[in-house]
Structure 1
Amino acid sequence: MKRILQLVLLLAGSTIPAWSQTCSVPVLKTQADVDNFSTSYPGCTVITSDLEISSSSITNLDGLRGITRINRSLKINYNPRLKSIEGLSSLTQIDASINIEDNDSLLNLEGLQHLVSLQGSIRVVEHQRLTSLEGLRGMTRILGSMSIGSNPALTSLNGLNNVTRVRGVSIGLNDKLVDLNGLRRLKEVNSPFYIGKNKSLKSLKGLERLEIADDRIEITENTALTSISELAQLKTVSHITITNNPLLSDCAIGIVCARAAFDQITISGNAAGCTSNQEVRMSTACMPQTLVRINAGGPDFTTATQKLFVADQYYAGIDRTSSIASGDILNTTNDVLYRSGRCSPSFSYNIPVVNDQVNVTLHFAETYFGAPGKKGGAGSRQFNVNIEGSRKLTNYDIFTEAGGALRAVQLTFPVTVTNGVLNIDFLTGAADLPRVAAIEVTASPTLIPLADGLVSGGVYSNSNYVSTARLSVKQVPSGGNQNANRLSYLKFQLPTGKAVITSAKLRIYGHNNENNTSIAIHAYGVNNDSWTEQAITGDNAPAASTSSLGSAAVNDVYKYHEIDVTSYVNAQRQSGDVSVSFLLNDPNKSSTEVVFNSKEAGTNPPQLIYQTTNVVQTPNSSARLGQEEVVAEIQEEQHSTVFPNPVKDHFTVSLSPEHAGPITFEMFDAAGNSHAIPAPQNSRPGEDAGVNLAGRSLNAGVYLLKIKSDAFAEVVKMIIAK
């Protein structure tokens, strides 16, 4: 019995059934070789060699109907009279590759429909009459590459519908192929992806699910191609080439904009709008866009310049609005937007946005105090505004700021969001109730360098570091080792248009690479923009044209450091210069190396962030840009804390002494959804309060706990564990 059991186990573990016969087959060169296969190899169902079919006389493969598996590759090449491969219809497995090439009478691939996966690659190329790939409809996985090319009668890639991943792809010289719809389940390509010389290809329809391209993508010489929008979901690619597609005018999709920012793209020879890297990079589609506009207290409203303010949303707190039916609002052509507003003792907005620096513009108009037939005026309404937990306005008076009632006024604040939700709190101040007419959130316009370069001194002064991912600054005193000297250069393309730049900040990400001392890194203007990162060296690098524009203290902590370069950027624009260059240096010659990411680093590149609107951005300033008075910001508040954090069913809040009056709790998940939390009884400022979450269906993840009272509102990040 033991011996029988061992035999059964042995047979069950074998990948080839015991009743199968194997054989090694030489090249089948005649129709007789095919027809007599079962006689020449009696009982053979598994071929242990390549199965190669190559003949000027073979017309069909009907004699091979008994074959179920090929341990190596299938090669059907150079058979000009072969019309059908349906004789392979019993084939369910090929352990290596498929190569079907130059069979001019072959119409389709029926016969391969039972194949599910392929360990190697597949090539279907050079067929004059092939119209369909439907014979591959069973295929779900191709571990090698796929090449479909030089098939002038092929109209569709249907048959590849179930393939989700493939190593590399080449689709070229298929004259009648109009789209790529047969690849509609493809999500990942790990080697180069080539789409070229398909003269009827109008779109990349079929690639809507493609998210990962680990290597490069090349889209070239498709003379009918008008759109690549189907790549909008693509998240990863190393390099993109888009060349010589004469009807392609719009290629500014997300991944193209991202790669263009780092010069990891080649664009040329396409229609206007997609003719060069720089044209695409500076296009409206690639520049930062508005994230959200909200008509506080009102419905959808489109301005005279076609800006849509959506109906009031993302608000919380005391739900109360106010509006007037008519009345001329000065300082605007969008009167309707300012006639309505959200107005209550305490309310907030919790707006899902990207984690980045954004501009928050608040729109105000005083529609009651001081209006015709109404009482009051200056000082009648004074309220506070916190954004991301930081006080931005204290006792703000719309009437005074706007110069009277029924006048529009706007304030813009740059804010950095780190948790995916922008929190804006409107709190009662010295008089009456807060009121806001509209909220606008836009991404800060950010430029990535056209070029950046590192140059050295001493014996290395003729060296070029074009591919470095790291910039560096180090200066040693005279008499020291000049070989250690490093300087860095940055060049940016300035934005087009005539709007005045009210703020420009140079941002560089890095740290002190040698110790924890703070090193002052200075930025200088360089009027000579002719340098290139491919050629710049210490010997030919241009000299600074200005004194220091400003400096940043850099210690051992990796982070972005900012230097205000507004005056120099405006001077360059006014002189007609279309680009601006900077030199980073250590004039104190501290003999300490400070390193920064270059644009080649792929993350946290150098940036030039600019504003073209008046922005309130300096704490404790007596006036904001535009000569309008603004109340100074209060000092940093003492915030509440949560412990333990992460939390499960219970946690404790150590409440800030800044609070006064009744205290309310509210939680928001990463999507901005609100979860009301009953405030513990007898919650007092400066004391601990216990919170019980038991029985609540809250998913694990990051949450924001909003704690609000009559005097103060704050947000504490917390994590709920499973």
Structure 2
Amino acid sequence: MNKILQIVLLLVLSTIPGWSQTCSVPVFKTQAEVDNFSTNYPGCTVLGGVGIISTNITNLDGLRNVTRITGNLRIEHNPDLVSIAGLSSLEQLDGSLNIEDNDNLLTLAGLEKLVRPLQDISVVSNEKLTNITALSGVTRIMKSLSVGANPALTSLEGLHNVSKVFKAVSITQNDMIRDLNGLRRLKEVDYLWVGNNKNIKNLKGLARLESVNSNLEISGNSTLTGISELAQLKNANSTVITNNPLLSDCAVRIVCDKVKSGNIRVSGNAPGCATNDEVRLYAICNPQTLVRINAGGPAFTTATQKLFVADQYYAGIDRTSSIASGDILYTTNDVLYRSGRCSPSFSYNIPVINEVVNVTLHFAETYFGAPGKKGGAGSRQFNVDIEGSRKLTNYDIFAQAGGALRAVQLTIPVTVTDGMLNIDFLTGAADLPRVSAIEVTPAPLVPVADAMVNTGARKSENFSQRYYLSVVHLLNAGSNNNGNDLAYLKFQLPAKKAEITSAKLRLYTYNGVSKSVVDIHAYGVNDDSWTEQAITGNNAPAASTSSLGSMTVDNAPQYREIDVTSYVNAQRQSGDVLVSFVLDDPNKTGTRVIINSKEAGSNPPQLIYQTTPIVQTQNGTARVGQEEVVTEAQEKQFSTVYPNPVKDQFTISLSPEHAGPITFEMVNAAGKSYFISVNHNVKPGEKAEVNLGGKALSAGIYLLKVKSDALTEVVKVLVTE
């Protein structure tokens, strides 16, 4: 029996090749070596590291049995290679993939089964490579990714499942790639370099990127105009943004942060992103708690000296409307309400400090129901979303204001968490949305505690639940059993680093004596340990400062203010997040002042504050957008430019809404104007050929102003070299 088993074992062993299922072929140098692989290495499905480097290999069909490569796969310097489909059984590559300098390779078809994380992927200098979609199974790259110098590659589709690259990502010198959408799932890299890509217009595809652990570099991209897709990027160790000649807007959060810390180099880009200082001046890099915008109009100062800056921060369908005159009821600021932004869909994206803010929308119906105009209630109904939440549904200005040409305001508290206040105006049941002005102010702080104490016979009592606070100081309190009344207030300060530029204690007050006035002073109290439920005249902390300021109170109930900015900032700088005040009458008039407490149900005490003030756009600086002043009766047909981007010549198809002589003017981002002549006296509705030759316009974004007696239009034009 044992003899028979030995014979069988010998027969089995004699059929197994000496190299088993794994074989070593360091390099394939000829087509014959590829074609004869299965003959020379029968049963071999696993290769060690291998290189395919040859002057005559055209395909890899002889490698169809290979399922795994335990080392690196290098496909390099093969001028005749047209297909790697022979690798279609390859499921696992333990090392790196390098595909370089294969002049006639069109695609990477054959690598579809690769799904395990790879060490490195390098696809560079492949003259005719058009797509890399075969890499769609790859989800993580343990080292680096490099896609460069592939002049025919049109997109990065195929890398769309990669979520993390542990080292560098380099996308460089790919002349036909227009965006980075193929990287749309990428969340984390160590180093990111996007450089010298001639046709990348934007960074679409990087919207999910949250972390660049070391360096971020964006350089030499000749048509790149914006990097807004990096808005979600939270960290990068150092940043370089250089020599992108059309990049005029690079103020995203990560860039703003780096400008403040100095760990960034910005140079050689278009105006607006040409230097660190230019970026630093962007409003988005200086979020505020006070913003006022005259929607659809120029800067305007109200009768009470409130500045509403010229229309800005808007996006979407760009259309404004205005009336030249007309009395607007319920306001002394008629000019503010005569203009407005009005289109089927538009939004405002306003940089603000993360906190609760009050958004006040100003409206007036200037068309429907106005003298000589049709319509009325129900003619205009629209929706408003703020921070992605519906706040107004089918809002009707006419109905809310009680008629046309009447001002109406609506204040909505909103919590902002991402540094950007988003307000969306959307078409509702009838006609178009319209807004005249937008005001963003910090939501006033209400006391976390307020109470009254008595220093006389009732000094042991607690008065915390009263709906009012009392302040009275008698000339001879010591001989009067009633003693004095003092009011205490405590506020929780916002936990922000931005300096508070204004803080006012706002109190709803009056006194009960006809024709009498009394000055109530506020004093700082450094001891914040007092509580509303326990404070009495016996344990109330004493004032820690001299008078911070005062308010004059008569018998008219109304809000009055005391400026306490210096004390509030001093408390914050010391690290104190609570601030307390005590109110007294140091002149000892004996006149009692009543102050609404937070329990009053209306008009509570408030601490109103502002942080970094808004930076008004300088006069002469062009706003990149397209703006028309039109009536609201119907949608207009506007002029169009093609091709756009333009070089020396382009065609403009004129709106039929024009009337009379038409002029053309180009305005660059710095506000410099260039008057443009056309080849004949063009008429409304016609096409005009425009020749920029001789104007010596540098590459960049321009505003083409088209003016006539009936209409003014502004069309954004991108001029390339």
TM-score if structure 2 supplies the norm length?
0.48
TM-score (normalised: structure 1): 0.48
Q: Choose 1 or 2 for highest CA Rg.
A: 2
